[in-house]
Amino acid sequence: MTRVLHVTECYSAGVGHAIDSAVRIASGHEHHLLWAGGPVPNHPHFRSAEEMPDGLRNRIRSFRAAVARVKPDVVHAHSSWAGVYTRLFRTEVPIIYQPHAYKFVDLSAMPPLRVAYYLGEAVMSRRTDAVVVLTPDEDRLARRLNPRVTRHRVPNVAAIRPSDDVVPSRTGVEHVVMTGRISSQKDPDFFIEVAGRVRELRSGTRFTWIGDGLAAPRERLEAAGVRVTGWLSASELAAELASPMVYFHSARYEGFPLSVLDAAAFGHPVVVRTIAAFVDTGLLGASGAGEVARLLVDVLDDGARRTAAFAATDALNEIMSEERQRDALDRLYDHYGERERVQNRNENLHAGANRGSPGGR
């Protein structure tokens, strides 16, 4: 068993769901959480959970205090700011860093800011024992930042699945759905543009955004006739995902989004914006709003590509499975538990040798 301290400043939406899933799946290890940015964790597999205070300095102090209190074998930092809190200063505990999408790939950010993000990641990668990557593209980026850092491929898995009480339907009036935080990364304005293009080709098509976020883009979504649900509980989300739909992911960059996996777990056809995260997944995608709109209409109207969309969904469920994630996480965490055991054994042997020598008496 390995004692893991998870650290995140965005325990909401996808990152929090990813942590919860990993902790549940890798339940053979001891998990502790240092968190901010989201609801109070209520997960039975956390041995402890402590909220970080506001402010960079306070959060770094909070992290160092948590290390002293928990005495973890390894720290697992989730997302970019957690990577700062845990790696800005050296610590004796090895750090696993999981970016959940590198910020420097955000093409909407000003070039100087993207350079600053890249340089910051490159510097802090020297204090990183391992990087968890979700896709071949993230593996390439991590290697470019630091060719010497160890990289572990850990697939994401769906955060929510059908149950006996919630059975998904593929029959009925379908609509187009996106899930995620309303933010620049998820690009609600692109979703609005696609909705307009689809309605030109297929009047009356409904669009839903599951989630919440920035006020101004939410208002633009609603003004464009997009239904915005706000954040939903697990049961409410399951009920939404059980309805017949085509899932469309509009984000401009990603690690690998859980919302796509959630839709796939409920058996829905998925259409994505063509970005690096989806390369080699087999998911149907296009880059421009007009291309995406035509693809969505084809799938909605049972066109030639609808069968391919369902086949890609089935293949994704096979690749991004709980069994594969469990194996990957166990290999990752076992390494640090074994390293701690070897270190303790060597220290005990050294102490015993000293006791048995004249200088050790």
Which tens digit of pLDDT belongs to each residue from 154-180?
988 888 889 878 888 877 789 999 999
Q: Of 182 and 357, which is predicted with more confidence?
A: 182
Half-sphere exposure (Cβ direction) of 112: Cα atoms closer than 13 Å = 0
The answer to whether the 3-157+322-351 and 175-319 domains have the same CATH topology is yes
Find, among 283, 249, 15, 13, the residue nearest to 132 by Cα: 15
pTM: 0.79
Over pLDDT 70: what percentage of the chain? 93
Q: Of 220 and 360, which is predicted with more confidence?
A: 220
Average pLDDT over residues 298-324: 91
Over pLDDT 90: what percentage of the chain? 71
Average pLDDT over residues 117-132: 96
Could you tell me the residue ranges of all domains in the chain?
3-157+322-351, 175-319
Backbone angles phi, psi at 286, to 5 degrees: -155, 160
Pairing of strands 245-249, 3-8: unpaired
Q: 66 with 32: CB under 8 angstroms?
A: yes
Using the predicted structure, report yes or no on whether residue 13 has a pLDDT greater than 80. Answer: no
Average pLDDT over residues 134-150: 93
pLDDT interval class at 361 (50, 70, 90): very low
CATH class of 175-319: alpha beta
For the domain with range 3-157+322-351, which CATH number is right: 3.40.220.10, 3.40.50.2300, 3.40.50.2000, 3.30.160.270?
A: 3.40.50.2000
Task: Please name the residue that has the structure tokens 């600053």.
Answer: 116
Using the predicted structure, report yes or no on whether residue 147 has a pLDDT greater than 60. Answer: yes
Using the predicted structure, report yes or no on whether residue 360 has a pLDDT greater than 90. Answer: no
Using the predicted structure, report yes or no on whether residue 300 has a pLDDT greater than 90. Answer: yes
User: Which letter does DSSP use for residue 150 in this model?
Assistant: E
CA 157 to chain CA mean position, Å? 9
Residue 89: exposure state from Cβ atoms within 10 A (0-12, 13-18, ≥19): exposed
Cα distance between residue 171 and residue 8, in whole Å? 40
pLDDT interval class at 359 (50, 70, 90): very low
User: Which letter does DSSP use for residue 72 in this model?
Assistant: -
Tell me how crowded residue 57 is: count the other CB atoms within 10 A of its CB.
9
- Write out the E strands in 297-356: none
Q: 269 with 307: CB under 8 angstroms?
A: no
Cα distance between residue 31 and residue 43, in whole Å? 10
Rg (CA), the chain: 22
